[in-house]
Amino acid sequence: MSKKYPLLLAAALCAAAPTLRAQENLPKLYSDASAQWLEGRPEDAAEALKYVAYRSTDPALTLSALKDLAVLLAEAGRNSEALAYLAKAGILAPEDFYVQFEKGWNLLGLEKDREARTAFEKSLTLTVDQSLASQTRFALSFAEARLSGPAQALDRLRSVYTRYPYLLSPAARLMGFYLEKTKKKKHAMNFVKEALSYDPRNIQAEIELARLYEKAGLNLPAWQTYFTLSDFDPEESFFSKKVKKLAKYVKGNTGDLLYWARMAWPAHRNPLKAEPGPRVKIGLYAGRGGVPSLVTGFSFIVTAPFDVMDTRLGRILTGKSNGQLKIVYNETNHLYELRDNSGSALHTTANSIRIVPKTEGAVILIKSPQLPDAHGVNRGDKEVAGELLVLSRENGFWLINETPAEYLVSPITASLADRNKLLEYLKAVAVAVRTRLTWLSASVRHESREYQLCDSAHCLPFPGLQVENEVSAKAASATRGEILQTGGAVAPADFHLACGGVTLEGVNDSGRPIPKLTPFGLYSRTVEPPPDTLYCLPDDKTTGSEVAWTLLLQPKWIESRLNRKHKIGYLKALVPLARETDGRVKSLRADGTAGSVIIEGAGPIVQALTAGTLRSTLFSIRPIYRGKHPEFFILRGIGTGDGAGLCLRGAAGMAKNFGAEYRAILSRYYPYYKVRKVR
């Protein structure tokens, strides 16, 4: 045994008196340790697990406690201590894959790269599971890069890249990094692009791609990529400075050079079918907090004759169908101007303006909205029906659409379905969307009373009527009036993209049975691949990042976000504290050289770690150190979204693979609610 751990190993070998041991309920103490871990007391859980490991004479219980303990210690960056307990676990179970696998990661964290390589190579001999073998080869690439250089690391990664779909994005990103080291810059750029194609939310790959574009002198794509990053994280001065620096090389209208849709003419040339029922007011171009972004100008086309109304003075213009006008805020005199297509002013006012089509169901196309201070907002052109209110605000205006709620169901359904056109699936989504709209309309979610809903994730993303398709319209029509209720109460009708196995309410998505959560149990779930029976698993597993994902995050960007408010200094560790019963992180402690801070809630955690791009808070975390500070954090995660309500990808899987009709889908994911038809 190593001389580095005399106190720990001596304690581990201490034996209690048989009479005392008989009075202890060690399985209960072990169970209590798991409860302490979920409650956000990892240090208390670790002490309880140590006690169980020292006292227990049951090899299985001892091994479980040692594995849990090793995970908790490694998660906190206490690699030396973790290795001490893994050494004892190795005596109890010399053929256990995970003991050697974890030994390798902890040795890597201590920069004992040769020993880490030996441990990883041994773990390869202890499994025939190709997914675990791929995880090990991925780990070996780090040791090989340090010991032998990038070429050897690339050899390890190629086998992962060609065989294991759930590490495609991080493997491609690392291959790009190592290819750049070998002076193959063009190949490096291609692999980083692929990393983003396999996982569009891999923010670290986005940062690498921006840097590579700039280094190669590709100024337009570099500007576009840095703009995207600045949109994610507007307070990051590094990104905003790059946007400003590279903007001088960009020619043309910058708004047309980004990822926002632009439309020449309305997609709906004819009026929509008149819809009875409730009307809602929806704040357009809303940010993450649900508040509409300030607009300073936009053009519009109405598909029927219309009136433009000054809210104080009355009608100021009657327009013809398919003519284009513009409304702008004049910052010189703080007035609003209605202009014709040539730019001539038709009316100037200090009041709000309403655009009112004369035909029920006529469509208004909002074109090229100018949102100078918006971030994280889709600024694309957008079709709406009903009336459009241009609501006066200081230094601009809000756009509020008053419309029949039913008009929103089909386009939101099509948007959530993401090109899927299975009718029964879209029916299920349409009922969920209609229910969600009903529930949101009756709740108070915004400080302003000028609108009930917003078109962001705060309520429901609404990209515009133009995104609907024939099948989504058919699904909305076939389920018209149907919502989810229980005892007369409307369901909240939450939904998320992919649960990865089990929803927040405990609905099993045909995955593995989930045992009682323990630190090692959760960690091993994030390492292993999702089962092939999973409803939300795509047919093409190369797109499986929605279900299982891995990120390698550099500390510098997390430090930057945290230091804006908390001044923690250089980041030393990220320690999950409280978790939901399904393992989702509820609070997280960030330890730095200047202090620590506890981050509470899913939103702040997602923002701190990845500027809002993290797929879910169901993850394990592992720091890999280089010297005294982490070189990167490995996040291995499950699912996309908060796991509440309808699993959209799971619902699609039920419809496609089992021919499930929409009521069966809804009853599975909303077991406490029934579909009811209301007037």
Q: Give DSSP secondary structure letters for 567-627.
A: ---SEEEEEE-BB-TTS-BSEEEEEETTEEEEEESHHHHHHHHHTT--S-S-EEEEEEEET
CB contact set of 603 (below 8 Å; sequence gap of 6+): none
Predicted confidence at residue 678, as pLDDT, reads 86
Average pLDDT over residues 500-519: 84
Q: What is the DSSP letter of 640?
A: B
Q: Model confidence at 256, in pLDDT bands (50, 70, 90)? A: confident
Average pLDDT over residues 113-140: 96
pLDDT above 50 (res 470): yes
CB contact set of 241 (below 8 Å; sequence gap of 6+): none
Q: Are strands 646-647 and 495-496 parallel, antiparallel or unpaired?
A: parallel
Q: What are 589-624's pLDDT values in tens digits?
A: 999 999 999 999 999 999 999 999 999 999 999 999
Give the residue, 252 or 349, on which the prediction is more confident: 349
Question: Of the ranges 71-75, 150-154, 222-226, 442-446, which one carries the lowest mean pLDDT score?
Answer: 442-446
Write the burial class of residue 95 (CB in 10 Å: 0-12 exposed, 13-18 middle, 19+ buried). Answer: exposed
Average pLDDT over residues 101-127: 96
Q: Model confidence at 257, in pLDDT bands (50, 70, 90)? A: confident
CB contact set of 384 (below 8 Å; sequence gap of 6+): 284, 363, 364, 366, 401, 403, 464, 465
Q: What are 540-561's pLDDT values in tens digits?
A: 999 999 999 999 999 999 999 9
Q: What are 353-372's pLDDT values in tens digits?
A: 999 999 999 999 999 999 99
Q: For residue 377, which phi and psi values (nearest 5 degrees)?
A: -120, 130
Domains for the chain: give ranges and CATH numbers. Answer: 6-243 (1.25.40.10), 279-490 (no CATH), 495-644 (no CATH)
The token duo for 5 is 């751990």
pTM: 0.92
- The C-alpha atoms of residue 563 and residue 561 are separated, in whole angstroms, by 6
Average pLDDT over residues 395-422: 95
Mean pLDDT of the chain: 92
The interaxial angle of helices 150-163 and 168-181, nearest 10 deg, is: 160
pLDDT above 80 (res 223): yes
- Residues paired with residue 550 on neighbouring β-strands, in sequence order: 636
Write the burial class of residue 187 (CB in 10 Å: 0-12 exposed, 13-18 middle, 19+ buried). Answer: middle
Average pLDDT over residues 407-411: 97
pLDDT above 70 (res 50): yes
Predicted confidence at residue 255, as pLDDT, reads 74
- Residues paired with residue 387 on neighbouring β-strands, in sequence order: 402
In the β-sheet with 629-638, what is the strand arrangement from edge to edge?
A: 548-553, 629-638, 619-626
- The C-alpha atoms of residue 132 and residue 128 are separated, in whole angstroms, by 8
Q: Model confidence at 512, in pLDDT bands (50, 70, 90)? A: low
Average pLDDT over residues 214-234: 95
Predicted confidence at residue 154, as pLDDT, reads 95
Burial 437-462 (b: 16+ CB within 10 A, else e): bbbbbeeeebeeeebbbbbbebbbeb
Predicted confidence at residue 488, as pLDDT, reads 86
Amino acid identity, position 656? K
Contact call for residues 579 and 585 (beta carbons, < 8 A): yes
Instruction: State how far the alpha carbon of 253 is from the alpha carbons of 248, 258, 368, in Å.
Output: 12, 10, 10
CB contact set of 469 (below 8 Å; sequence gap of 6+): 414, 421
The token duo for 598 is 């506890």
Write the burial class of residue 138 (CB in 10 Å: 0-12 exposed, 13-18 middle, 19+ buried). Answer: buried
3-state secondary structure of 386: coil
Amino acid identity, position 134? S
pLDDT above 80 (res 485): yes
Average pLDDT over residues 94-120: 96
Predicted confidence at residue 660, as pLDDT, reads 96
Average pLDDT over residues 404-411: 96
Place of tokens 């014709």: 340
Contact call for residues 417 and 254 (beta carbons, < 8 A): no
3-state secondary structure of 210: helix
3-state secondary structure of 221: helix
- The C-alpha atoms of residue 16 and residue 180 are separated, in whole angstroms, by 57
- The C-alpha atoms of residue 549 and residue 165 are separated, in whole angstroms, by 10
Contact call for residues 460 and 437 (beta carbons, < 8 A): yes
Predicted confidence at residue 400, as pLDDT, reads 98
Place of tokens 């939901």: 580
- C-alpha R_g of the chain: 28
Predicted confidence at residue 628, as pLDDT, reads 85
Among residues 555, 594, 557, the alpha carbon closest in space to that of 574 is found at 555
The token duo for 593 is 């050289």
- The C-alpha atoms of residue 580 and residue 38 are separated, in whole angstroms, by 7
Q: Percent of the chain at pLDDT above 70?
A: 96
Give the residue, 236 or 257, on which the prediction is more confident: 236
CB contact set of 284 (below 8 Å; sequence gap of 6+): 292, 366, 382, 384, 398, 399, 400, 401, 454, 455, 462
Predicted confidence at residue 460, as pLDDT, reads 93
Predicted confidence at residue 252, as pLDDT, reads 77
Q: What are 433-445's pLDDT values in tens digits?
A: 999 999 999 888 8
